[in-house]
């Protein structure tokens, strides 16, 4: 598999941080980043690397709350 561009990963993480700002999880449908690879590829990679937790089939959250807050400040 080709490498996922860093900017795609950060864009997805920012969307999840924003989407979970007022609730614990972000709906997959709220991840609207303009990325060059399929969204599921990025989400699966982040889960495999234990950056994201997944609840059910379509809810995601960033595991480290401090990282989520950093993403919100630096969006």
pLDDT tens digits in sequence order for the chain, 75 residues long: 569 999 999 999 999 999 999 889 999 999 999 999 999 999 999 999 999 999 999 999 999 999 999 999 987
pLDDT for res 6:
94
Total tally of structural domains belonging to the chain: 1
CATH code, 27 = 1.10.10
The C-alpha angle 71, 44, 66, rounded to 5 degrees, equals: 25
Residue 19 within a domain: yes
Domain span including residue 11? 6-73
Residue 22 within a domain: yes
What letter would DSSP give residue 46?
H
Residue 42 within a domain: yes
pLDDT for res 53:
96
Alpha carbon distance 22, 25 (integer Å): 9
Residue 64 within a domain: yes
Residue 26 within a domain: yes
Residue 1 within a domain: no
Q: Taking the model in full, what pTM does it have?
A: 0.92
């Amino acid at each position: 598999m080709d490498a996922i561009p860093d900017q795609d990963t950060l864009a997805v993480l920012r969307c999840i941080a924003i989407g979970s700002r007022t609730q614990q999880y972000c709906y997959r449908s709220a991840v609207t980043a303009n990325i060059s690879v399929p969204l599921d590829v990025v989400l699966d990679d982040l889960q495999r690397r234990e950056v994201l937790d997944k609840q059910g089939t379509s809810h995601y959250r960033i595991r480290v709350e401090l990282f989520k807050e950093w993403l919100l400040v630096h969006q």
